[in-house]
Amino acid sequence: MYALSGTTHILGIIGNPVRHSLSPAMQNAALAECGLDYIYVPFAVPPEYLGAAVSGLRALGVTGFNVTIPHKTAIMSYLSHLDESAEAAGAVNTVLVQDGLMTGYNTDGFGLISSLADDLGFVAGNGTIVIIGAGGAARGAVAALCRVGAERIILTNRTLSKAIELAEDMRARYPKTGIAAYHQDQINENLLDSASLLVNTTSIGMNGERIDFVDLAKLPKGAKVYDMVYSPLHTPLLKEAASIGIEAVNGLGMLAAQGEMAFSIWTGRMPPKGLMKRVLQRVCNLTTA
């Protein structure tokens, strides 16, 4: 690590909890690799201290920070400006501080698009993308997919009203993409018939659970699966896809790519390609060993 001095720039992550965050490991590794005089620190911030923490970070002159659960939406009211990525996603995961002004970005969408291309060779365009879930992660994913030109998106959720609400909002923002909403139990009826990609945006799988309402065998030949879950690395959805010959990846590439984009917002440079993902893989293998 770079020797700390009076000129060291401070970066960090605020969340609650942040103990399990993988961002300090991958960001500090990339900063060190690039020889940059920066350090990235985790800050556990309870919700009642969010405003004080944001003022404090500004007063202390930090260069920027990541924002994670549960502050991604609440932080928006404390910022001077929102980038379109954050405005569309309705959430901020990266803040840049310049001359005391704070700009909120959302790099998760970039992370997904980038990981889809790099890890699955998938580029959104003609075809149908089926999304499982309609929460914050789904919103970010849909906004990003619409922005890069997805032709048709089918939203499915356990709570139908939330899928309908998200579809209406996204349709108004991105009229060029056809967006429909269904209950998750309708997935196997015929929603997968023309899908080129299935994306899990829910946390199902983190505790070893199967997504038991989806029959992957109904996907057409060549369709791919993206699971935003990355812990365990071999998620139940990935195992199931592999067992019937469907190409599928976990969300580790998305985590790395959102971090690469945040790094570039703060430092003006992209970290060496693949470095953050390698760090994540190493850390995840250690913790699951």
Q: Is 154 in the site for ligand ATR (CB under 6 A)?
A: no
Active-site annotation, residues: 72
Q: How far apart are the first and last CA of the chain?
A: 26
Q: Is 288 in the site for ligand ATR (CB under 6 A)?
A: no
Question: From the CB of residue 90, how many other CB atoms can be counted at a distance below 10 Å?
Answer: 17
Cα separation of 124 and 69, whole Å? Answer: 28
Name the one range near ligand ATR by CB under 6 A: 49-57, 109-117, 151-159, 218-226. Answer: 151-159
Q: Is 204 in the site for ligand ATR (CB under 6 A)?
A: yes
Per-residue CA distances from 287 to 42, 94, 255, 282 (Å): 18, 26, 17, 9
Instruction: Say which amino acid occupies 99.
Output: D
What span, in angstroms and rounded, lies between the C-alpha atoms of 256 and 23?
Answer: 9
Residue from 70, 136, 178, 232 binding ligand ATR (CB under 6 A) = 136
* Tokens at 186, concatenated: 């309708």
Segment interacting with ligand ATR (CB under 6 A) among 4-12, 129-137, 187-195, 248-256: 129-137
Q: With 0-12 CB in 10 A as exposed, 13-18 as middle and 19+ as buried, what is 35? A: exposed
Residue 203 makes contact with ligand ATR by CB under 6 A: yes
Task: Name the residue number minimizing CB distance to ligand ATR.
Answer: 135
CB of 133 to ligand ATR, least distance (A): 4
From 45-53, 80-88, 157-165, 271-279, give the range in contact with ligand ATR by CB under 6 A: 157-165
| Least Cβ distance, residue 183 to ligand ATR (angstroms) | 10
The three-class DSSP label of residue 106 is coil
Residue ranges binding ligand ATR (CB under 6 A): 133-138, 157-159, 162, 201-204
